[in-house]
Amino acid sequence: MTERQNKPLVAGVELGGTKCICILARGPDEIEDRVQLPTTRPEETLSAIEAVLERWSGFSALGIASFGPVSIDPHAGDYGHITSTPKPGWANQDVAARLRRKAGVPTGFHTDVVGAALAEARWGAAKGLPDIAYATVGTGIGVGLIAGGKPVDGLTHSEFGHIRPVRVPGDDWIGCCPYHGACLEGLAAGPAIQARTGIPGPDLPADHPAWDLVAHALGQLLHALVLTGVPRRIVMGGGVMVGTDHLFPRVRAAMSKSLAGYVALPEVADADTFVVPPALGGNAGPLGAIVLGAQALGEQLQTSFMGA
């Protein structure tokens, strides 16, 4: 059997809030097809995904990395559903079961940020590390935690974007999160930057004082991630981080200042290599779906073997 035959051909779906990417691949260097679709109404979007899956053949698993919140507990009645999203029409949509029925293969399902974490750990900026965090800072803020090569799962997925950070003294801006006001997302995500300054993040000058407040909040996020004891590296992506070269040094410095030397590990002390940008770009989420599908296939094969 060749190395290529050893790698399963997997169909992956990254279902994002504005666009969906369907990918047929064995890995980042063996992508057989990639289709981008707009995320519109649920029936329209899911039907378009089904049409892509129907056109493809030969894949042995399906992975879905979806915007959230989602239900990831396989024992829950709503497993595979998008749950309380404010995106019109998508709340309580059963995404995983519908697409699994169409594909007819083992199916993995998780958040898009966990998908990106899996891909960056397998092939990207954290390659070879079994335990990482991937933080996306864009329209929202989300974190995927990976331990032992698999998502850190429990009752639900993490929601680090909604923790309440220590504030900069004198900063009493109320934030813009509709749930928590001045949580991390309400202070440092793209909409928060524009709400505070009146200027979209990409147009905000590098010397604008708001960037120091953003960096402080994100440093608090990294502080919390370090204290979970999980990540050996933190990858930070998303539209606010990527392309904003001046922000990474500020965020690393804010993390180190907040930790104040408490975690005395060389990996954390070298902030330049501990907090890094992603390496897979726009393919991180779709390739993460490929990893989710391959893991679902592996779990089914293991279950079948043990039950034989």
pLDDT in tens, 177-231: 999 999 999 999 999 999 999 999 999 999 999 999 999 999 999 999 999 999 9
> Dmax of the chain from CA atoms?
65
What is the predicted pLDDT for the residue at 300?
A: 65
What is the predicted pLDDT for the residue at 41?
A: 95
pLDDT in tens, 273-297: 999 999 998 899 999 999 999 999 9
Q: Is 91 within 8 Å of 83 (Cβ atoms)? A: yes
Q: Is 49 within 8 Å of 96 (Cβ atoms)? A: no
Nearest to 11 by CA among 51, 69, 38, 71: 51
Give the burial string for 221-245 (b: 16+ CB within 10 Å, else e).
Answer: bbbbbbeeebbbbbbbbbebbbebe
**Number of C-beta neighbours around residue 270 at 10 A:** 11
304 or 122, which is more confident = 122
Q: How many angstroms separate the CA atoms of 274 and 41, rounded?
A: 40
Question: For the whole model, what pTM was predicted?
Answer: 0.90
The residue type found at 160 is F
